[in-house]
Amino acid sequence: MTALVSETPHRVRHVARGVPVSGDERSFGAGASRFVTPALDLDALVWPRSEPGPAFDTPVAEIMDVLVELGSWLERDPDGLVADALAAARRTNPLPAGVLTEAYASLGRTFTRRTMEFMIEQELGGADVLDGWRTISGTPSGREVRVRAFPARVVHVLAGNAPGVGAVSLLRAALTKGVNLFKLPSNDLYSTSLLLAGLHAVAPGHPTSRSCSAAYWRGGDAEVESVLFRPQFFDKLAAWGGEASLRSARAYVGPGFELVSFDPKTSVSLIGREAFASAESLRAAAEAAATDIMLMDQQACAASRFQYVEGSAAEADRFAAALLPRLGVARRLGSAVGNPVPADIREEVEALRDLAPYARVFGGYEGSGLVVRTEEPVDFHPENKVANVVPVDRLEDALGRINVATQSVGVYPASRKASLRDALAAAGAQRVVTLGNVPVVEAGLPHDGFYPLQRLVRWVSDEG
């Protein structure tokens, strides 16, 4: 009988305009990773354009009340649904159990009133423009003009590497009042349905709840996407992750159906020669770098991968040696011993071990951290707590490695940021942070070079 139990597929729930739907009509994957979903009822997932969305006229203050309730529900877990979702995720999500548990535990904190007020103030200049028509004075023509951040119809193609992606997407979706269909990623099948189930639990039938649907279909499934990805149903495609999610979506983007892209990103650290001033500064720089590297065990785009160290190869080796033990220390969203280093990275690192002085390798593959010092950045994409340390004569020499795919740049010490930030931005970087503070991702600040709330609404004017 044990065989039967282990072959029971995981059940993934859909949400149809606020109402959770269970079922096992469709099956995906094989073996241990097999999962079943309800039938895909496209009519139930979308909203007719002939009528306004359920929350178009719901005051933001009321929506915030509901979201705060949701946050509290997530922390209290009165129905055990959070625990269920976490248990299911632990069986299928590649993240180590500790990191995943912590990520689920912090879901509720996404929905604090202070955060929401800050977001609306920062990104839109206040709730007035969401709830009604903001008067614009001083137009050159002298006319009286009003604008509104009007709710939009958005299909979200979510990334699954961190449960926070679904949470922040829901937060933005709810505050902007539009109708939203969330396409679940196969690497996180549970967290977004959980959030919507929570919404259904705390405010059944509330317009915000009725404005959200979630479903799984295989990314790129033309039978589904060619039908849904149309201006008749949606204004925007909010897609995370680039190539994989855009493989087919690209064909559907056109007049009336625009792309809001959360592109795939790499993050790096710039460590100034001040790190070598004393044993204490070296320790501090290594600790700060480790904090940035270990975010979600390096599965997040903000997690640092390349460490450009201002100094000689020998100094870079000193830094690497100081960094290694810090990668084995448990953090809030990083494990002491995570997943082993993936085989493809291991192959490349193995080759580098025999190429001294070009390269030097610190640590092993068991998941406690691995540091590879090379003359130039490695060809592979470091992950699972693998840091690539590259010596540079001056931090400015690392600018050539910064491009539009660079998201967060952690700088040590903080005093070096001011002289570097314009050049970093010019090269394409989107976020300059004091080293060690990268994991503090604050809603309401720019994301990948734009204010998401501004992109998730339709700006409409009423002109005199």
Tally of residues, the chain:
464
Least distance from other proteins to the Cβ atom of residue 131, Å: 31
Q: Is 188 left (phi over 0), alpha (psi -120 to 50) or beta?
A: beta
Distance CA 185, CA 163 (A): 11
Position among 60, 157, 284, 433 found at the interface with other proteins (CB under 8 A): 157
Q: In Å, what is the CA distance from 244 to each residue of 12, 162, 186, 248, 250?
A: 21, 16, 12, 9, 11
Task: Give the interface segment with other proteins, choosing from 5-13, 134-142, 296-304, 432-440 (CB under 8 A).
Answer: 296-304
Position among 151, 219, 311, 391 found at the interface with other proteins (CB under 8 A): 219
Output 47 or 262, the one with its CB closest to other proteins: 262
Confirm or reject binding of residue 403 to other proteins (CB under 8 A).
yes
Phi, psi (degrees; rounded to nearest 5) at 150? -80, 140
* Touching other proteins, residues 321-380 (CB under 8 A): 343-344, 347-348, 350-355, 358-359, 374-376, 378-379
Provide the token pair at 213. Answer: 């649907």
Confirm or reject binding of residue 243 to other proteins (CB under 8 A).
yes
Confirm or reject binding of residue 315 to other proteins (CB under 8 A).
no
Position among 104, 262, 276, 412 found at the interface with other proteins (CB under 8 A): 262
| Burial environment of residue 315 by CB neighbours within 10 A (0 to 12, 13 to 18, 19 or more) | middle
Output 83 or 404, the one with its CB closest to other proteins: 404
Provide the token pair at 199. Answer: 């919404």
Confirm or reject binding of residue 5 to other proteins (CB under 8 A).
no
Provide the token pair at 75. Answer: 């922390």
Confirm or reject binding of residue 404 to other proteins (CB under 8 A).
yes
Least distance from other proteins to the Cβ atom of residue 214, Å: 15
Provide the token pair at 378. Answer: 């490695």
Task: Give the interface segment with other proteins, choosing from 56-64, 141-149, 328-336, 398-406 (CB under 8 A).
Answer: 398-406
Output 168 or 199, the one with its CB closest to other proteins: 168
Residue 446 preceded by cis peptide, ω within 30: no
Q: Which residues pair with 371 in a beta bridge?
A: 362, 387
Confirm or reject binding of residue 251 to other proteins (CB under 8 A).
no
Confirm or reject binding of residue 162 to other proteins (CB under 8 A).
yes
Phi, psi (degrees; rounded to nearest 5) at 109? -70, -15
Distance CA 150, CA 130 (A): 7
Please choose, from the candidates 147, 153, 113, 115, the residue with its C-alpha nearest in 3D space to the C-alpha of residue 131. Answer: 147
Confirm or reject binding of residue 6 to other proteins (CB under 8 A).
no
Position among 53, 185, 328, 452 found at the interface with other proteins (CB under 8 A): 185
Least distance from other proteins to the Cβ atom of residue 423, Å: 13
Provide the token pair at 338. Answer: 């995570």
Q: Which residues in this chain contact other proteins in the complex, by CB under 8 A?
A: 157-162, 165, 185-187, 218-220, 240-245, 262-266, 298-301, 303, 343-344, 347-348, 350-355, 358-359, 374-376, 378-379, 381, 383, 400-401, 403-405, 427-428
